[in-house]
Amino acid sequence: MATSRISARLPPNIDPTKAPLAYGDRALPKLNSELNDPELITRQRALMALCDYLHDPEHIVEALKVGVVSSLKTLLTDSDGTVRNKTTEVLYIISGHNSGRDAFIDESIIIPLSRLFDDDVYIVRKNTHMAIEMLCEFYPGAEGMVEASLIPILVDKLKIEVDDIKEYILDTLHFCMRLEQIQALIAGGMEVFTELLKHQSPVIRAKAARDIMDLSVPLDGKNKACECNSLVDLVKLLKDSDTDVRAKASGAIATITITTKGKYSALKADAIPPLVSLVGDPSSEVRLNTIKAITTLSEAPQARKELLKYVDRIEIKTNKDLEPTEAVRKAAEIAVKVITWKP
């Protein structure tokens, strides 16, 4: 005689790791309530469900209305690693939207989030830095980081963090240093960035060179770059096989050599031959930054004398038929005028 048997397995469309969503408008209020539940498994499942649900921008707006960011702020200090992991992941998703970034500022979440820079769990630190980097792409976020004096902490983290997290830190510092460079200078940022120019990763080398360019905008930064011998390593990077590295290195050289001290430090590092060789680089960014660096260098009599040998090579870049990029053509015209100037 046949008997019925009930399987112990869940139906294939049920995920036991996620909280079941309530219908319609009740979904987010229910998840927000579960985020504050004393039961660990309930908090974990709510966060798992939230990670998927918030990929829809419309859901993010609804989540902000029911106070999800405030609940997530509380969970940043949770003792469970999985909760902190998923909390920072949700915050990263929210930070990708303008209304979410505004909520970060309104809820004063930057400082509580920054405390996870020291978390023992790698993925928690990574998610944290990803969220902070996304927030700092916009002025209020970068301003919040500067006001919280977090730039020195990020500089110190560059010395000890794993490589993929270093990339996010370098990006965050880039956005912050567009507003404030002094904090990074005092924290030893120029020394740290200069050391990273020798890193095996081309991405990190390029980002370090870009950050040196940012840090060299004020006069103190240019002088610090000369003191740290940053130009020696930057000149070496002009021969790098990676296009982005060459572009950022030439841009940093162009910024530092605005001062007389920078010009002669670059000449001492023998910058002219590799710069001239990049005038015909396939990348327009490399060509533009290189010609700008040549222009600033040629203001020094010693450099102008040497660059007169190569003026024909630069003059070619003023030709519309041979140089498609207008910015490069204009830069080349200025360079030729400076090089051929006679007192």
Over the chain, what is the mean pLDDT?
91
Res. 19 pLDDT band, cuts 50 70 90: low
DSSP type of residue 28: H
Nearest to 130 by CA among 164, 178, 106: 164
What pLDDT does residue 18 have? Answer: 59
What pLDDT does residue 1 have? Answer: 46
30-44: pLDDT as tens digits: 888 989 999 998 898
Dihedral in degrees, nearest 10, Cα atoms 208, 214, 219, 221: -30
What pLDDT does residue 9 have? Answer: 58
Res. 58 pLDDT band, cuts 50 70 90: confident
- The answer to whether the pTM exceeds 0.85 is yes
- Tokens, residue 122: 């790698």
Q: What are phi and psi of 192, to 5 degrees?
A: -65, -45
Q: Are 151 and 188 in contact (CB under 8 A)?
A: no
pLDDT higher than 60, residue 11: no
Res. 59 pLDDT band, cuts 50 70 90: confident
258-290: pLDDT as tens digits: 999 999 999 999 999 999 999 999 999 999 999
The interaxial angle of helices 81-95 and 57-65, nearest 10 deg, is 110
pLDDT higher than 50, residue 79: yes
The span from the CA of 10 to the CA of 13, in Å, is 8
Please state the separation of Cα 226 from the chain's center in Å: 24
**Can you tell me the mean pLDDT for 7-21?**
53
**Can you tell me the mean pLDDT for 245-249?**
97
| Cβ count near 335 (within 10 Å) | 26
Res. 10 pLDDT band, cuts 50 70 90: very low
158-180: pLDDT as tens digits: 999 999 999 999 999 999 999 99
Nearest to 36 by CA among 19, 56, 14: 19
What pLDDT does residue 343 have? Answer: 73
Instruction: Tell the burial category of 58 from Cβ atoms under 10 Å away from its Cβ (0-12, 13-18, 19+).
Output: exposed
Res. 28 pLDDT band, cuts 50 70 90: confident
- What residues contact 20, with CB distance under 8 A and at least 6 apart? 49
| Cβ count near 178 (within 10 Å) | 14
